[in-house]
Amino acid sequence: MRDLYLFNKGSLYHSYRTFGAHPIRLADDYGVRFTVWAPHAREVRVVGDFNHWQGERHAMERIGETGVWSLFVPNLVPGTVYKYEVHTSAGELLLKADPFAFLSELRPNTGSVVTDIFNYDWNDGDWQRRKQEMSPYHESMLIYEVHLSSWRSWGKEMFWTYEEMAEGLVQYVVEMGYTHIELLPITEHPLDMSWGYQVTGYYAATSRFGSPKQLMYLIDRCHQQGIGVILDWVPGHFCKDDHGLRLFDGTPIFEGTDWKRAEKPLWGTLAFDFGCTEVQSFLISNAIYWMDVFHIDGLRVDAVASMIDLHFDKPPEMLTYNTFGGTENIEAIRFLKRLNETVFHYYPDALMIAEDSSSWPAVTSPTYMGGLGFNFKWNMGWMNDMLRYMALDPAERMRHHNLITFSLVYAFSENYVLPLSHDEVVHGKRSLLNKMSGSYDQKFAQLRLFYGYWMTHPGKKLLFMGGEWGQFDEWKYDEALDWQLIGYPKHGSMHHYVKSLNRVYGEQASLWERDCDPGGFEWIDVHNAAQSVIVFMRRGHGEHDFSVIICNFSNQHYPEYRIGVPEPGQYRLALHSEAAAFGGALAHMQEIIYSSKTAWHGRPCSLTIDLPPLSFQLLVFASGEHGRSERFSALHGLM
């Protein structure tokens, strides 16, 4: 009864241990215990293939005034398909999937399936220990965003399994130099077209790719290879399918009674009632569940802006206000704070990443300082500004120079991830490559330049699959990526460039050690709008650990371009986007550049470099007395 008391109070944070279908032994009988919350139901029965979907003999017992129903059914085994037959107070009969089901039938079937998920033998102890020793703010974070259905497939709706992904996907991610995989939602959902964002089974890994333990194997393999796993998590809304959460006991217990707040007209879904304590237990437990049972390393929390704004995407007739007359969803804000506090209580090293397009302040500040309590937030402003800038004709860019510089005004106001996500390559927005202005060859040059600036700008990084070789078409959710393009010279060279850029990023601590520290970034030249050139430095923790980045966003060649640098000595060229091996025009480049004593850009020394049009260069300070270092081998070793 204590568990149910905590559930009703919104504080049962491991409610999946109590609710759902659990194979157990009761006295001398083996069977399954079913437990469900349906506070306004007149009666609830368990039905399934074991009783020919006739529930007369399997009516559940209501437990006091908790709104919870439970029943032990002997002789049932994992693999049993079931639903709850809910008799409403209005006399309706509903067939509902279990909100806490750990496995669902493969769509279009909608039954819940009994399974035992609590005895997987994990082999990721080294990874778990290493996580405890790391601070994500001071580590490299290069996230590969993946939609499992369309990363690879064997044909129409012939998906790779979790186990196949555990070999092919993990090996690819390691080879490419990513640090994390972010999976688009893999919770059970009925419609492929939703990409997983309209959920019916929050505790069920989708059956499209196999069993829950096969998913655990995929995550286990990632960890054994040093790859973190982030789950795209959707607590903001759920779909309206009859077997799901909508009107679960004949009344709106998950979505709340105010239809103006519940309806999400943009997506045709329903918002959770964040003020309901049982909903809080359900959702917060779900976040803990994925970390506890599946060893997920973090959550990318979807659509935070839509949760905290009562007017988000609402027509005039649906506008509501909070008790103070404002538009903030006070209950959702309190929920998010409690969610983050609870997650970090149990998993201090978790990643909680807000996908938030609003200007809400202190999203990544601790709750005790008035923040929402996330530790990272997507930087949507940087992304929108830069994609707009890169679509401009280079001749127009001098009048829009602020688009590439404004982000540094607020770059350290939050702990940011710079996302180049799936949302930017669908619905007529065109692929990243096809967003670039200019001719076919210029599009590739510009994408290399853009990636270079993205990788060296403060903030952690995320790239959606296919972007690494410059997929030309938009992402298609129901088809595999265009892997054959890697065999074409331009796309193959782009793939090689991204792999090299990823590796240089991982090797150069100056590019990520101080991502969240204003001292980790310095402008050298921010004002050269006339030539559309920017020059800046990234600094690591070491006194002499810094990199110099030069971006030429114009289509003009500047053969002797002088830049100021802070120290005399050798500067090594770690990466050049115009190298021939990357599809550029330069077969030979000066690898070592010596500074002169000519002061420039307010610095005591300077370098003179050749600056091709639409190019990115990364120089690393090496000092005069140091010999060649392995950390600078990327330019020759990967080309």
* Positions marked active-site: 302, 355
* CA atoms within 13 A of residue 474's CA, in its CB half-sphere: 11
Q: Can you tell me which residue has the tokens 């330019």? A: 635
* CA atoms within 13 A of residue 467's CA, in its CB half-sphere: 29
Q: CA–CA separation, 627 vs 141, rounded Å?
A: 29
Is the bond preceding residue 612 a cis peptide, omega within 30 degrees? Answer: no
Residue 131 and residue 297 in contact, taking contact as beta carbons nearer than 8 Å: yes
Pairing type for strands 68-74 and 61-63 reads antiparallel
Q: CA–CA separation, 25 vs 521, rounded Å?
A: 60
For 301, the token pair is 């929390």
- 442 CB burial (10 A radius; 0-12, 13-18, 19+): middle
Encode 102-140: b = buried (16+ Cβ within 10 Å), e = exposed: bbbbeeeebbbbbbbbeebeeebeebeeebeeeebbbeb
Residue 343 and residue 291 in contact, taking contact as beta carbons nearer than 8 Å: yes
How far apart, in Å, do the first and last CA atoms of the chain sit? 65
Q: CA–CA separation, 188 vs 291, rounded Å?
A: 17
Q: CA–CA separation, 300 vs 354, rounded Å?
A: 6
Longest distance between any two alpha carbons in the chain, whole Å: 91
User: Which 3 state secondary structure label does DSSP give 521?
Assistant: strand
Residue 116 and residue 25 in contact, taking contact as beta carbons nearer than 8 Å: no
Q: CA–CA separation, 274 vs 337, rounded Å?
A: 12
Number of C-beta neighbours around residue 210 at 10 A: 19
Q: CA–CA separation, 392 vs 404, rounded Å?
A: 12
What DSSP string describes 391-459?
Answer: TS-GGGGGGGTHHHHTHHHHTTSS-EEEEE-GGGGSTTS--HHHHS-SSHHHHHHHHHHHHHHHHHSSS
For 600, the token pair is 């420039």
Q: How far is CA 574 from CA 44, 416, 504, in A?
A: 66, 25, 7
Q: How far is CA 508 from CA 142, 371, 384, 416, 504, in A?
A: 13, 31, 27, 19, 6
Nearest 5°: phi and psi at 197? -85, 0
For 366, the token pair is 């601790």
For 443, the token pair is 């599009």
